Structure 1
């Protein structure tokens, strides 16, 4: 085997046909579900399709979706970038503490935050009860676009915060010092030196926030905002599947535009840093604003963490609330969640291994195409993926429709890229000389992978499985659409309680889900320590 010398690992020229065919089959399997949306839309009469696409409801849905996505992205950047700068570059008091706390809202599913905020700030909510004796008869409206923007922003700004923080930690601060010696003010130095360095990171975080906002189903539904995901689910349940297919294609078009815009922002951005000069060596003094500056992380973390957790604990301890025995929590819900998430994590890891290995070890257009194809499911909103599999299962594979295997398949398509990213990173770190040594001893490629590569990339495989497991536990739209009849999980119990306004029945499953989701932050921290 002829190998190319690189700094990240062995990149081979010889194309392994068997591995390429396997990766091609996996990539095709991840793209396959979406084809059924086009099949369904193609069977609609063109005049009827045009009429549905131009009706006032469709225009309203498109407008609301774009406004929600734009506002969430802007506010996420306005929160994430200052918080990252405060916790990395300034002398903010207790900044190590705040650097962790302001990232924690990421572990709370936005739909849990949404119905907690409705319970707190809605009409006759908990805060209204507390403030009524003080003469405050009415709180600001929490429903609609303002409420959805507030809630989704609180649980998506950590994407921008984490990516920007990582960029600031790798920033060569001597460049800022050089700019200051040339009589540039602090703001001018930030704009001309720091901002170009962190712009790709801001764009990456903003992309995640935008995709989350446009694909979120639970929060807009709870906030009664007509967006693509909510209308698709409503039409699906009311048997308006033609209209749901057209809305899904429109939503896919919006996602493609977002991805293209992010690529355009990042293109041409080449930033080099001297990693030996860590940002921690240069701290910007806040002066008189040092202690008041803590108000920003305290307010944001308080809104994102204390409000939902406080409301959940209040529901948990309240004993005088009305109950509905049919909605009482059962441990089988947790067992179902764990079992189906574990199955998805295992299958995703098995499917991700060949794709990640092929992308890491073989420098070809084919490996790039196969790897990128697997990311389609991750970018597609869950409600669209679920609807596509409904069309396929109900129309062409009724034997697997509304079964656990189809549900697990949807989870794998949706979250397998998380496993691929983790496995590919660790594969690139394997010393290629070890593989060459095994091959010179006559070991066949598959045996070399099993005996040498797999033990070394095991941490990446485990981390990838953990991330798939945790995100599957929180997935709402796919679970609601594809679960078998009578198969209840933590998220379906939460959703049933929310729809019936029996919020106290959501306390236990929501707290369990938040606790499990908190493990994702542990995984991120452990992976960060291993990579540092």
Structure 2
């Protein structure tokens, strides 16, 4: 007899056997959002492992502003306002902004077009043109200005300054845009094309929004570079804030007018940084996975191929071949060119050492600021990033004098020592490394950091094991870029270099100021060749 389906199992004593009740299905509780590096713009406070060093970097960059505040108000707010509201100041403001706008627009056109041609099209010799397009980074603005002036003296003025600054600055846009193009998943563009969008519409609606942060960051660096440039505008005899500040410093022992003009320059910098931050938008730019493993299919140029080659060749000719040819001419025909190989080697070695130290310190200070700017939103994160950009638009002479002021009063052992010069490089070029770090971290998937935090990793472990390794290529590119600009820096090096030490930039400027163009040519050639090595590596790099 079969047991009834409802029969209760019993023991030998006849009592019912206790049976365990089946476990009720449970739904796992979602993990609390503990990611300190929360992607997609979390408003949580950054962890102390980032906040403390970022605060130190911001205070370090703001040091020249403290000096300016002391100097600008030394004779009272009324006198400082009188300087700022002067008609001459308003004229300098218009001239500086006009030059900046023209150079930025030209650099965006050159940078975006060359990045697209060398990365996304079937351009013959694309790798060669990519390298050639980055080599202008090795040409100092004052060398480019000298080359054009020696060939055509009538270029002096606005046109010559704009031309010289554009031809040495457009790689600041080219490099981040090219990196962004390589990081974009082509499946998104292919999906847009499959929905009936043409090439132009796909570029405007899918590709361009993803390039906007990189292009805006590069344009910001160009704008700050133009505002802070001294060499090109001085040789071209075009008055901007930097030239007026330098003239004021040299013309009088009263530093108040120059400090007041520098404050206006800082306010312009803050406005530019705020405007650039608004162009980034609120969306994220990172993928949650690796995306497709294949690169984007190169676009055929068709009948546009000759025009594309002509465009690339013309840019390389005027930005690289022309200044090198001018230096070659002075080396060949100049009777005053003396090849002191021992002195040249010593100067080159000193240049390498101080530039490497400056790039290392700048990258170290920029890392926490760049991570916070990429992973956190809020007023505090914006203030930290804006503080890091504050010193970049200041003329090198202003930063140098502020550090001299600080060293003499509070750290006298550093006066006329190499660490003070390295600190000046960090203040001046911190935005270069911050922009590269922020762009690299933005392209790293934030979900990996969230997973690491959910597995119990502390913020400093996430930074060391996840964030930094993923962003390392971009951070290294920023360090190489910082190394190049440190080698070319002139005003701060002139004032802060230790007694008896010369760099290639200072020797070049000394010989040029004395009218010995042929004697300056060997130092200019050595500077360009040394700066060309990291520039070549930046252009040749393919992730």
> TM bucket by the smaller chain?
0.7 to 0.9
Give the Cα–Cα distance (whole angstroms) in 1 for the partners of residues 264 and 173 of structure 2: 26
Superposed displacement of residue 420, structure 1 = 6.2
Q: How does 1:100-499 map to 2 (within 5 A)?
A: 100-122=131-153, 141-169=154-182, 170=184, 171=186, 172-175=188-191, 177-178=193-194, 181=196, 187=200, 190-239=203-252, 240-268=254-282, 275-276=291-292, 280-281=296-297, 283-287=299-303, 289-318=304-333, 320-322=334-336, 330-348=344-362, 373-378=387-392, 380-393=394-407, 400-416=414-430, 466-499=480-513
Give the Cα–Cα distance (whole angstroms) in 2 for the partners of residues 437 and 56 of structure 1: 60
Residue pair 1:497, 1:503 contacting (<8 A) in 2 also: yes
Give the Cα–Cα distance (whole angstroms) in 1 for the partners of residues 436 and 293 of structure 2: 27
2:5 corresponding residue in structure 1: none
Give yes or no for the alignment of 1:60 onto 2:91. Answer: yes
- The one-character-per-residue Cα deviations of 1:490-521 (angstroms, maximum 9, x if unpaired) are 11111112222211122222122112212323
- Distance change >3 Å, CA 236–CA 501, structure 1 → 2: same
Residue pair 1:159, 1:209 contacting (<8 A) in 2 also: yes
Give the Cα–Cα distance (whole angstroms) in 1 for the partners of residues 366 and 49 of structure 2: 16
Unaligned runs of 5+ in 2: 1-32
Give the Cα–Cα distance (whole angstroms) in 1 for the partners of residues 180 and 222 of structure 2: 17
Task: Give the TM-score taking structure 1 as reference length.
Answer: 0.77
Give yes or no for the alignment of 1:36 onto 2:67. Answer: yes
Superposed displacement of residue 202, structure 1 = 2.9
Superposed displacement of residue 367, structure 1 = 7.5
Cα RMSD over matched residues?
4.4
Residue pair 1:77, 1:157 contacting (<8 A) in 2 also: yes
Match of 1:71 among 102, 112, 122: 102
Task: Give the TM-score taking structure 2 as reference length.
Answer: 0.76
Residue pair 2:453, 2:462 contacting (<8 A) in 1 also: no
Match of 1:501 among 503, 515, 523: 515
Q: Which deviates more, 142-151 or 109-118?
A: 109-118
Superposed displacement of residue 317, structure 1 = 2.6
- The one-character-per-residue Cα deviations of 1:11-39 (angstroms, maximum 9, x if unpaired) are 9x999768855654443233223211012
Q: Which deviates more, 276-285 or 236-245?
A: 276-285
Unaligned runs of 5+ in 1: 123-140
Give the Cα–Cα distance (whole angstroms) in 2 for the partners of residues 489 and 525 of structure 1: 26
Give the Cα–Cα distance (whole angstroms) in 1 for the partners of residues 377 and 78 of structure 2: 47
Residue pair 1:89, 1:284 contacting (<8 A) in 2 also: no
Higher relative contact order (CA 8 A, sep 6+): 2
